[in-house]
């Protein structure tokens, strides 16, 4: 009887806690919007969900060109800062490193800096997220040059150790809302949560194989309409899987992540973020409501 009770207690015990830092790309404007929804509404919905779940110091990475392409979206950046969340650099026009030269790379960061300085106050805005996570892995010289420039200018790299392709859901969602296809939206919602669950399992498997433990994850998200719509359920999913929400700064200090974050150190290979199953899912949801 005692053995049965012990087994039941062990089965009911929560999984070992894991830490995760939520980060958001493509502020102030990402992907398509459903009819009647504004960029500011998306930002406010996202901020409210993060605040309700107690997620601290969520970095939002900006593409300054969007302020020109969509006038008025500076309100998104102001709302983000008013919530106490910091901003970082994602390149002016979101250009992949492998497709541009060194001068353009430098210009991409420098053009964003006046915006970041004007809004950031005392917060540290010298974090850079490579657009498309493109660090020019196939060009060691270009990668080294970009890292040297980042180090010289006091930047750290906002590396990504977990992603489930959230960006791919926003455009199908906007189409499905426009068509009033509630069945397709319900399928998108389930696929989104399934993708996040698969990402949780993949990162645990990969990290335990590499490190023998699960260091803090840095999760890539985007400031999209479907992300805002799903965020309360997504945050609940991570909590149910034993995650604690931490800052990017805290996650970056872990020895497993320092080499990904510090451009002064020798570059490391990025961690696996997806597998064949996740790729097939994203291809499938891209066809929704076309």
The closest of 258, 260, 282 to 271, measured between CA atoms, is 260
pLDDT for residue 12: 38
Copy the structure tokens of residue 31.
Answer: 């992907």
Q: How does pLDDT run across 36-90, given as a tens digit for each residue? A: 999 999 999 999 999 999 999 999 999 999 999 999 999 999 999 999 999 999 9
pLDDT for residue 16: 67
Confidence of residue 11 (pLDDT cuts 50, 70, 90): very low
For the chain, the straight-line distance linking the first and the last C-alpha, in angstroms and rounded, comes to 59
Residues 176 and 271: their CA atoms lie apart, in Å, by 33
Q: What are phi and psi of 260, to 5 degrees?
A: -85, -25
pLDDT for residue 15: 52
Q: How does pLDDT run across 81-109, given as a tens digit for each residue? A: 999 999 999 999 999 999 999 999 999 99
Q: What are phi and psi of 144, to 5 degrees?
A: -65, -40
Q: How does pLDDT run across 251-285, given as a tens digit for each residue? A: 999 999 999 999 999 988 888 898 888 999 999 99
- Please give the CATH number for the structural domain made up of 17-167+216-271: 3.20.20.370
Mean pLDDT, to the nearest integer, of 142-166? Answer: 97
Mean pLDDT, to the nearest integer, of 187-202? Answer: 97
CB 170 within 8 A of CB 181: no
User: 173 by DSSP, 3-state: which?
Assistant: helix
CA torsion angle 107 140 219 95 (round to 10): 30
Residue spans per domain, the chain: 17-167+216-271
pLDDT averaged over the chain?
94
Copy the structure tokens of residue 4.
Answer: 């049965």
CB 23 within 8 A of CB 221: yes
Residues 118 and 58: their CA atoms lie apart, in Å, by 18
pLDDT for residue 268: 84
- Between 6 and 111, the more confident residue is 111
Give me the sign of the Cα torsion angle 137, 142, 145, 150.
negative
Mean pLDDT, to the nearest integer, of 115-142? Answer: 97
Residues 199 and 234: their CA atoms lie apart, in Å, by 12
The closest of 126, 61, 68, 131 to 94, measured between CA atoms, is 131
pTM attached to this predicted model? 0.93
Residues 109 and 241: their CA atoms lie apart, in Å, by 36
pLDDT for residue 270: 80
Residues 280 and 269: their CA atoms lie apart, in Å, by 24
Residues of the chain with pLDDT > 70, as a percent, come to 94
Residues 78 and 74: their CA atoms lie apart, in Å, by 6
Mean pLDDT, to the nearest integer, of 150-171? Answer: 98
Residues 58 and 248: their CA atoms lie apart, in Å, by 7
Mean pLDDT, to the nearest integer, of 199-203? Answer: 96
Cis peptide bond upstream of 28, omega within 30: yes
């Amino acid at each position: 009887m005692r053995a049965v009770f012990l087994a039941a207690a062990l089965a009911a015990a929560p999984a070992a806690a894991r830490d995760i830092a939520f980060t958001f790309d493509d502020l102030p404007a990402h992907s398509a919007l459903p009819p009647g929804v504004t960029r500011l509404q998306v930002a406010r919905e996202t901020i409210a969900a993060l605040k309700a779940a107690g997620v601290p110091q969520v970095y939002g990475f900006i593409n300054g060109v969007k302020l020109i392409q969509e006038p008025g979206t500076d309100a998104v950046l102001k709302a983000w800062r008013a919530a106490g969340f910091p901003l970082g650099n994602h390149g002016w026009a979101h250009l992949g490193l492998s497709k541009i030269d060194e001068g353009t790379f430098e210009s991409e960061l420098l053009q964003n800096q006046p915006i970041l300085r004007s809004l950031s106050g005392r917060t540290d805005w010298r974090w850079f997220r490579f657009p498309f996570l493109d660090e020019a892995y196939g060009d060691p010289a270009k990668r080294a040059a970009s890292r040297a420039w980042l180090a010289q200018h006091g930047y750290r790299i906002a590396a990504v150790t977990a992603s489930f392709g959230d960006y791919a859901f926003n455009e199908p969602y906007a189409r499905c809302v426009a068509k009033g296809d509630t069945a397709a939206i319900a399928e998108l919602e389930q696929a989104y949560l399934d993708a996040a669950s698969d990402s949780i399992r993949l990162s645990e498997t990969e990290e335990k194989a590499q490190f023998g433990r699960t260091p803090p994850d840095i999760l890539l998200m985007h400031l999209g309409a479907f992300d805002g719509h799903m965020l309360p359920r997504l945050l609940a999913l991570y909590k149910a899987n034993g995650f604690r929400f931490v800052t990017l700064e805290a996650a970056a200090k872990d020895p497993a992540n320092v080499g990904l974050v510090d451009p002064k150190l020798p570059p490391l290979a990025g961690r696996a973020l997806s597998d064949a199953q996740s790729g097939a899912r994203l291809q499938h949801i891209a066809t929704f409501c076309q």
